[in-house]
Amino acid sequence: MISLDKAEIMAPVGSFESLAASIHAGADSVYFGVTQLNMRAKAAHNMTLTDLDKIAQIAHDSGVKTYLVVNTLLYDHDTVVMRKIVDTAKASDIDAIIAFDFACVNYCNLIKMPVHMSVQFSISNYETVEFFARHTNRVVLARELNLEQIRAIYHQITQNQLMGNEGRLMEIEAFAHGALCVAQSGRCWMSLYTDNSSANRGACRQNCRAKYKITDVDTGNELVVDNHYILSAADICTIDILDQLLQSGVQVLKIEGRGRSPEYVSTVVKTYKKALVDIEKGEYTKEKVKEYMKDLEKVFNRKLSHGNYYLGKEIGAYSDVYGSRATHEKEFIGRVVHYFPKVNVAEIKIDTGEIKKGDNFLFIGATTGTLEGKITELHVDGKTSECASRGDLITFKVSDRVRINDKLYIVKKKNKYQNT
């Protein structure tokens, strides 16, 4: 089993708000892309090359590692851009590149930039890990492996003392939570086939998330299926088998979601961090797992699959909605105009909607990250009040500092997720 003090929670980042949220939530590392040559180039928020210095400084000041994703297929005309991205990352003190194309791997090796092997390599056996050990110290294993197969690879790594190119024992990274592509290790061609928009070039159109019918071409007969989202896989969730995942030899727990919100990042990182602490304390119980699941279900998810193939079971978990099944949603209210540090009070100008005493609130900001709480006492224009609406200037206590222009939301329970 991986020593818990060496277990690494890797958080997805698509904005400075998400970066701050992941750090405050307790992430050990973050991964992100810039505007080109990453698998979420068109489908998510991305940083820019000019952001890399700032990202590295913010993360490293908190002891958090930084990984830049350069994981698309590369054509000849891409190599100049790839080298510029990698050179800039090295100069900015980014900790490693996550790569898919051998051209990127080779260049990282040439300039001695640490590089990790992407899941798209579909690394599924020890001999492939042994091959990549010449080029890297970390591999992301294929998402199709079960725990027994992961354990067998880890056993051979430790038995043979397989060292990577940085002189450390080879490290195993695996996806612990988030969206799952229906294609083998994410290498889908459906978007290219239907829209001439290649997922392997960072331009996936998310065709798999749509509704589909099954029709007999010869007769025109349509088959009745109980779920039209027959290509939309449910999200990976390993919170209920986290101890088994660690026992199998997985050292790095990767959370998917570079296109998801700061509160998603914060909630998922916090929840997995709590689970790791409970495992270490011997308090990882079925009751605790139920609590973790309730927290994870509050934020964006297409249905949580509870370990699916990691347990060697058939992948029978598919989404039944186009968007999210989150049990809670946020509603924008206004922005912070002042913060009073001596009394921990935030002052907000309400731009839209209503807010009242007892509401659950959420602040989001580039430095603040996320800050949640409940309004126990509300003041409008300096007077105690039960509620407030558009145009009002309100104040209430918060548990930590917020900043001017941070956005304020109220968080409400959904009546029911929308099946559209």
CB-side exposure of 97: number of CA atoms within 13 Å?
34
Q: Which two tokens stand for residue 177?
A: 């939570």
Q: What does the pLDDT read at residue 44?
A: 59
Residues 202 and 37: beta-carbon distance below 8 Å: yes
199-218: b or e for each residue (b if 16 or more CB lie within 10 Å)? bbbbbbbebbbeeeeeeeee
Fold of 328-413: Elongation Factor Tu (Ef-tu); domain 3 (2.40.30)
Below-70 pLDDT ranges, the chain: 1-2, 38-44, 179, 181-210, 212, 223-233, 306-309, 312-323, 325, 416-420
pTM of the model: 0.86
Q: What does the pLDDT read at residue 127?
A: 98
Quickly list DSSP for 165-227: TTSSB-EEEEEEEE---SSGGG---HHHHHHS--GGGT----GGGS---EE-TTT--EE--S-
Angstrom CA distances, 387 to 92, 334, 383, 384, 393, stand at 48, 14, 11, 9, 11
Helices (H), 282-365: 286-297
Q: How far is CA 22 from the centre of its chain?
A: 10
Angstrom CA distances, 333 to 168, 262, 361, 393, stand at 50, 17, 10, 11
Dihedral class, residue 63 (left if φ above 0, else alpha if ψ from -120 to 50, else beta): left
Dihedral class, residue 74 (left if φ above 0, else alpha if ψ from -120 to 50, else beta): beta
Write down the domain spans for the chain.
8-181+233-311, 328-413
Q: Quick: pLDDT tens for 359-417.
A: 999 999 999 999 999 999 999 988 999 999 999 999 999 999 999 999 999 999 887 65
**Rg, the chain, Cα only:** 23
Q: What does the pLDDT read at residue 420?
A: 44
Residues 6+ away with beta carbon under 8 Å from 63 = none
Q: Is the dihedral of CA 83, 84, 85, 90 positive or negative?
A: positive
CATH architecture for the domain at 8-181+233-311: Alpha-Beta Barrel (3.20)
Instruction: Supply the mean pLDDT for the chain.
Output: 88
Tell me if 8-181+233-311 shares its fold with 328-413.
no
Instruction: State the DSSP H helix or E strand holding residue 81, giving kind and residue range, or none if neither.
Output: helix 79-91
CB-based burial label for 393 (10 Å; 0-12, 13-18, 19+):
middle
Strand partners of residue 372: 362
Q: Which two tokens stand for residue 376?
A: 């126990």
Q: State the Cα–Cα distance between residues 77 and 82, nearest whole angstrom.
A: 9
Residues 109 and 135: beta-carbon distance below 8 Å: yes
Residues 6+ away with beta carbon under 8 Å from 270 = 25, 26, 295
Identity of the residue numbered 236: I
Length of the chain: 420
